[in-house]
Structure 1
Amino acid sequence: MDVRRADERYPGGDPRAGIVSRHAFSFGPHYDPDNLRFGALIACNEERLAPGAGFDEHPHSHTEIVTWVVEGELTHRDSTGRETRVRPGDVQRLSAAGGVRHVERNDGTAPLTFVQMWLAPLTPGGDPSYEVVPGIADSTPYAVPEAGAMLHVRRLAPGERTALPDGKYVYVHVTRGEVRLAAGTLGPGDAARITGAEDLEAEGVTETELLIWEMAP
């Protein structure tokens, strides 16, 4: 179990434009050949957008992009003509496939915080696709078969326990609160990379929310 703390993330974004980013993996100018991916996961970015701030239209390809809003409301537009609002509890997925362009903005009046996770597809290419699953229930898994991965959302009360999935690669990201794992206590923005997970549990220290990726080899 390899614990990475929030303050170890690579800084990014443009604070003067109201964009603050923190990258868990090698990203942009922060190139680290020893931190390129974990399982299928190639990025786990914490993004904070001030009201009116956002990312102008930009391209993606050969990537499964899963977004989880922690607070606020995300406006998403892409080159397929879709425009959506993504709120806390919703799961958004954009399969970039052979290529797509999109815009992400905070068009609201409150700060926006979201976690965006990129996964490498098993087979590159194809046609882009998009979906939003509103209000995903606790413990309801969300499958990304294109990347051989499953996302589990866990919300724990203090003292409440949950089993982590067994698997070759398991990635745990804390969005809020504190949780206790075998390696110690993790807080907001902390993550654990677990190889060969078996019979592990997480226990809520406070009210907490976890994003857990279960990934095949």
Structure 2
Amino acid sequence: MVVVMDVRRAGERYPGGDAESGIESWHAFSFGPHYDPGNLRFGAVIACNEERLAPGAGFDEHSHSHTEIVTWVIEGELTHRDSAGHETRVRPGDVQRLSSAAGVRHVERNDGSSPLTFLQMWLAPRNPGGVPSYEIIPGIADSTPYAVPAAGAMLHVRRLAAGERTAVPDAAYVYVHVVHGQVALAGQALGPGDAARITGTPGLQALAEAPAELLMWEMGA
């Protein structure tokens, strides 16, 4: 099988947010006013947004539906509140999942005194509707897979030392996002914020050229 890899650089993302409100956003897929019919989704992933919130800034209550929303904090601490009664603090190393199903409302804020940066990934469910649900996994261990069955997807978190390798999952679609560090993947050098969209992956490996943190989505056809 031929490996097909589409590398998207951090600097190619669509800018967004509201600078006056302390919100800076970077969108890897077509999003909001930045409509790109050729960049609507990859596998189940329909959004991968890097959000940077100044202290006291945040997103006021807003609604979602028919989306699996997975959040990964890069630095700082995220306050989450939703209409189902959940109120949590999400920190680096935690996996947060909000299944919006038929509809849910939530608030996301930086209530701390330091800048907050988090990655939010939206996945399309195989079957829309249902009952909203919420889960947070504190301090997920390296190499521990996290399943999102509604989207037919599995998240792999890898924290690599310099010189360490990790296998890329064998799947119909694999989305690799570099959170920290530098990695070499199929002859390409990837740094923070860079991503690779891969199909046909038998035996593919990523090599950390410096200490690195990777998020890899394994998705079926």
TM-score, normalised via structure 1 length? 0.99
Partner of 1:77: 81
The match for 1:110 is 114
The alignment-based identity, stated in percent, is 78
1:185 to partner: Cα distance: 0.6
For the residues of structure 1 that align with 2:24 and 2:158, how far apart are their CA atoms? Answer: 26
2:189 pairs with 1:185:
yes
2:130 to 126, 131, 151: 126
Partner SS for 1:20: strand
Equivalences, count: 217
1:2 and 2:6 are equivalent in the alignment: yes
Of 194, 204, 212, the match for 2:208: 204
Which segments of structure 1 move beyond 6 Å, counting only runs of 4 or more?
none
Write out per-residue CA displacement over residues 24-56 of structure 1, whole angstroms, 9 at most, x where no aligned residue: 000000000000000000000001001000000
Give the RMSD, CA atoms, in angstroms.
0.5
Residue 32 of structure 2 is matched in structure 1 by 28
Match of 1:44 among 44, 48, 68: 48
In structure 2, distance between residues paired with 1:176 and 1:17: 26
User: In the TM superposition, what are the counterparts of 1:158-173 in structure 2 within 5 Å?
Assistant: 158-173=162-177
Unaligned runs of 5+ in 2: none
In the alignment, the residues of structure 1 paired with residue 211 and residue 152 of structure 2 have an alpha-carbon distance, to the nearest angstrom, of: 30
Query: Which stretches in structure 1 are left out of the alignment for 5+ residues?
Result: none
Greater alpha carbon shift after TM alignment, 23-32 vs 179-188: 179-188
Q: Measure how far apart 1:183 and its partner are.
A: 3.6
Match of 2:101, SS state, is coil
